[in-house]
Amino acid sequence: MRILLLNYEFPPVGGGASKASFYMARELARRGHHIDVLTCRADGQPEIENVEGVCVYRVASPRKSMHEAGVYAVMSYLFFARRVLKQLLQEHVYDCGHFYFAIPTGLLTFRWRAMTDAPYVISLRGSDVPNYDSNAKTINLLHQVLKPVTSAILRHSHSVVANSESLRELAKESFHNEKIITITNGVCPQDFAPAKNMRQDDRTVTALCVVRLIRRKGIDALLEAVAQCESTTVRVVIAGTGPQRNALIEHAKRLGIDNRIRFVGSVNSSEIIAHYQQADFLIHPALVESFSMTLLEAMSCGLPIIASDIGGIPELVEHDINGLLISPGDIPALAKAIDRLAESKSLRARFSGANRAKILDQFTWEHIATAYEQQYNSDVTGAHRDKPQ
């Protein structure tokens, strides 16, 4: 099959959906499909490039940062991508289109429908679903304004896919008549593997947090929890950047824990794997989450998990089975969970083995690509059956 995948973010820019679209495209290409990607261009990147068997087309999209788009970046992507999409549809015959995010990327489906009868899939990712973040008043207002448009995008698709059961249920509250299925994110266990050698230094315990430094990721609560921890051996490495970075650094100083917190900034793919392999456990204190790529990567590397009991996280982490779940923003509970994992090497070992096994059994990209492949085939068959004779 020839498939066009569209996402306004693609590595090295963006977050979880960016990674998901890359790994998905790579796995499908490995299976013999011809995969084209239409995405944004970071500084210094070529407009057209073959990336591990995937043909990537990039358009201008000036961003606030590598991990933060902003309105201008989104609008510029849509403007320039619309032109390139027209060119691609004139030059190639696609069997299927795959649009990551109903809004904004799904707006390009109007061009798609005007030029081809081929089916398309919409992947819901979280922020494109109304009321995903109840505190994001501006975004939720925008969702209400655009609801008729979003409804049209979903209605004319052949498949709408949510990346977790939690997100599917939330989307159904706004789009009652749409059939929405669930296909989760995945991870490459060959890339994200446990460390070959055990850490030798037992004097400290390293907790890792991989996150964009924005409000809904709950890092301020993490800092407060570290300040309440009884264990003095815990050191926290925070990998990622974002608009809250300077404020969080100052907050750590005010709490008197800056000697126990290390902000390492933005890290590339090889560096993040090294961080996973050097850590003893991962903390994910998000206030809002759909289905975290970070959790999948950490679990694949055999890391025990402390995470918020919210969104799609309980679909990955079972309390006291492969990690510890706490209510989002519950600082005392988070502090106790950190102390518990820091003080029990045997508990960490049990969670570690359970997480690696769970990934291999359910969440490799081979599993996820197979599910999407079946959906593409179903959509293409249905599109041919529905086409007027």
Residue of 164, 261, 266 lying closest to 210 (CA atoms): 266
Do 122 and 143 lie in one domain? The reply is yes
With a cut of 60, say whether residue 388 has pLDDT above it. Answer: no
Confidence of residue 66 (pLDDT cuts 50, 70, 90): low
Measured over all CA atoms, what is the biggest interatomic distance in the chain, rounded to whole angstroms? 73
Do 158 and 13 lie in one domain? The reply is yes
CATH code of the domain containing 305 = 3.40.50.2000
- Assigned domain for 216 exists: yes
- Assigned domain for 169 exists: yes
Do 122 and 247 lie in one domain? The reply is no
Confidence of residue 386 (pLDDT cuts 50, 70, 90): low
Range of the domain at 162: 2-186+364-386
Do 122 and 210 lie in one domain? The reply is no
- Assigned domain for 6 exists: yes
Q: In the β-sheet with 2-6, what is the strand arrangement from edge to edge?
A: 48-51, 54-60, 34-41, 2-6, 96-100, 120-124, 159-162, 180-182
Do 226 and 256 meet the contact criterion of CB atoms below 8 Å apart?
A: no
CB within 8 Å of 21: residues ≥ 6 apart: 5, 7, 9, 10, 37, 39, 100
- Give the bridge partners for 48, in sequence order: 57
pLDDT given for residue 73 in this prediction: 84
Do 243 and 141 lie in one domain? The reply is no
With a cut of 80, say whether residue 206 has pLDDT above it. Answer: yes
With a cut of 80, say whether residue 389 has pLDDT above it. Answer: no
- Assigned domain for 380 exists: yes
Do 241 and 330 lie in one domain? The reply is yes
pLDDT given for residue 199 in this prediction: 60
- pLDDT tens readout for residues 315-341: 999 999 999 999 999 999 999 999 999
- Assigned domain for 34 exists: yes
The domain tally of the chain equals: 2
- Assigned domain for 302 exists: yes
pLDDT given for residue 382 in this prediction: 76
Do 78 and 126 lie in one domain? The reply is yes
pLDDT given for residue 68 in this prediction: 67
With a cut of 70, say whether residue 355 has pLDDT above it. Answer: yes
- Assigned domain for 194 exists: no
Do 63 and 70 meet the contact criterion of CB atoms below 8 Å apart?
A: yes
Do 172 and 220 lie in one domain? The reply is no
- pLDDT tens readout for residues 184-196: 999 999 999 998 8
Checking 178-185 for CB contacts under 8 A at 24+ apart, the result is 178/151, 178/154, 180/124, 181/375, 183/368, 183/371, 183/372, 183/375, 184/291, 184/312, 184/315, 184/363, 184/368, 185/16, 185/20, 185/291, 185/292, 185/293, 185/296, 185/363, 185/368
Q: Is 173 left (phi over 0), alpha (psi -120 to 50) or beta?
A: alpha
Two tokens at 210? 């991989």
Do 131 and 216 lie in one domain? The reply is no
- pLDDT tens readout for residues 126-184: 999 999 988 888 888 999 999 999 999 999 999 999 999 999 999 999 999 899 999 99
- pLDDT tens readout for residues 231-279: 989 999 999 988 999 999 999 999 999 999 999 998 888 899 999 999 9
pLDDT given for residue 42 in this prediction: 82
- Assigned domain for 211 exists: yes
Do 224 and 174 lie in one domain? The reply is no
- pLDDT tens readout for residues 13-46: 888 899 999 999 999 999 999 999 999 988 888 9
Do 221 and 162 lie in one domain? The reply is no
Q: What is the mean pLDDT of the chain?
A: 93
pLDDT given for residue 200 in this prediction: 57
Confidence of residue 384 (pLDDT cuts 50, 70, 90): low
Do 172 and 305 lie in one domain? The reply is no
